[in-house]
Amino acid sequence: MPAGIISEVYKGIFNADLYYTFAEVNKPLTHSESSKLSYTLDIPRPLGVVAEHAVLELLVESRERLIDWKIRVNGVSVSKEFKPVVSVKVGEIYLHKLIYDVKSILNTPESMNKARVHMTIRHEGGGSIILRAVGFIVAYSHFDAYTSMKYYTGLLLVGEGERYSLSDVCVDGDSLVDLVAFSPAPVPIVLSNGFNQRRILVKGLANIQLDNSYCGYLEINHEGSDSGGGNPFLVLGVLSKKFSVRKPSLKLASITPMVSGNEVNISLRITNEGDAIPDEAMLVVLDKGFVRGVKKIKPPSPGEVVEESIKIPLNLMPEGVTLRLVWKKLARTQFEDTSVKLAQV
């Protein structure tokens, strides 16, 4: 029987855009009194937009069942003690899952102006640990977005020859399903929806994306290998999600380059063919992959045309440059590239 537990922690339908990431870290923190570990997650952060839901998750390895550390997120302490929600023993080591609700921290005036989550773990006692993985999930509240989601999290050890299954995985039957798992060594796994099977080999942190045929039933089967070995397979979470966002779609309607002295002045007409206004928009000048200039522009409303211009030194255009039109909406960033050749001037 699998050790540990995963359980449903969130289920809902709301006006929000969903962003999530899971990253493999593998950074040690020693038992030295001065030992400290810092880790930064870059996230899309719409300025001034409230987080409807925000959770930080850590997967930690240690040789002790009890560990004593403290964690701060964006300078704010989120725990008096570094207590795991669930721990499992794998051979001679323990793996711990820690889960923190950080919504209130992300909604402080200081954090709402930051496009990142900065985490600091400081030693308070006990032995060394290894931070194996970090997960972060946030939903940004906005009337232009719609999300339905169900989230199971925890830490479940599925041993060789064992199975684990979930029913009624999704809120909406048209959702996509993500299985987040970890294995320190290669492990063959079979996933089944009751009708079809999918065989995969998992090593390290894996985010396995499944279609909506797994909404009704998801079975995880640790088949093991012919050579045995009993390598562990750990389920960190199962996320089902369906979301839609009213999107802007910016286009360069016209480009008029003109030489003036030692500069090329490029006049632009930019139109929004989408159904929402961007949160931000900018022009980036690229020369053989290098950024030569950046200019923020007025985000056009749907159907609106705005006029902009940008100046480029003539010596940067021996063969031409690329104009990258970038726009952001909630947790999403899109761009469109257009080449401008000297022959056009």
Contact 150, 240 (CB under 8 A): yes
- Is there a single domain that holds both residue 170 and residue 21? yes
Query: 3-state class of 66 per DSSP?
Result: coil
pLDDT single digits (tens) 188-214? 999 999 899 999 999 999 999 999 999
pLDDT of amino acid 180 = 95
- Is there a single domain that holds both residue 177 and residue 293? no
Q: Is the pLDDT of residue 226 over 80?
A: no
Instruction: Print the domain residue range for 108.
Output: 3-245
- Is there a single domain that holds both residue 215 and residue 79? yes
CATH code: domain of residue 338: 2.60.40.10
Average pLDDT, the chain: 85
Residue at a domain's end among 196, 216, 245: 245
pLDDT single digits (tens) 253-302? 988 888 877 778 888 999 999 988 998 899 998 887 788 888 999 999 99
- Is there a single domain that holds both residue 204 and residue 265? no
Percent of the chain with pLDDT over 70: 90
Q: Is the pLDDT of residue 89 over 60?
A: yes
Residue at a domain's end among 245, 280, 302: 245
Neighbours of 33 (CB within 10 A): 9
- Is there a single domain that holds both residue 235 and residue 324? no
- Is there a single domain that holds both residue 73 and residue 143? yes
Residues 6+ away with beta carbon under 8 Å from 87: 4, 65, 94, 95, 96, 97, 155
Residues in the chain: 345
- Is there a single domain that holds both residue 133 and residue 149? yes
Of 13-27, 126-140, 223-237, the least confident = 223-237
DSSP letter at 45 equals: -
pLDDT of amino acid 318 = 58
Residue at a domain's end among 197, 229, 245: 245
**If you average pLDDT over residues 156-177, what whole number do you get?**
89
- Is there a single domain that holds both residue 241 and residue 254? no
pLDDT of amino acid 227 = 53
pLDDT single digits (tens) 98-124? 888 888 888 888 887 776 777 777 766
Confidence of residue 325 (pLDDT cuts 50, 70, 90): very high
Residues 6+ away with beta carbon under 8 Å from 97: 4, 57, 58, 59, 60, 84, 85, 86, 87, 153, 154, 155, 236
Q: Which residue in 286, 307, 288 sits closest to 297, CA to CA? A: 307
H helix runs in the chain, sequence order: 103-106
pLDDT of amino acid 39 = 81
CATH code: domain of residue 190: 2.60.120.1200
- Is there a single domain that holds both residue 221 and residue 117? yes
Q: How far apart are CA 243 and CA 17, in angstroms?
A: 7
pLDDT of amino acid 150 = 93
Contact 86, 4 (CB under 8 A): yes
- Is there a single domain that holds both residue 161 and residue 119? yes
- Is there a single domain that holds both residue 230 and residue 265? no
- Is there a single domain that holds both residue 9 and residue 64? yes
pLDDT of amino acid 272 = 94
pLDDT single digits (tens) 19-61? 888 899 998 887 666 677 888 877 777 777 888 888 989 999 9
The domain tally of the chain equals 2
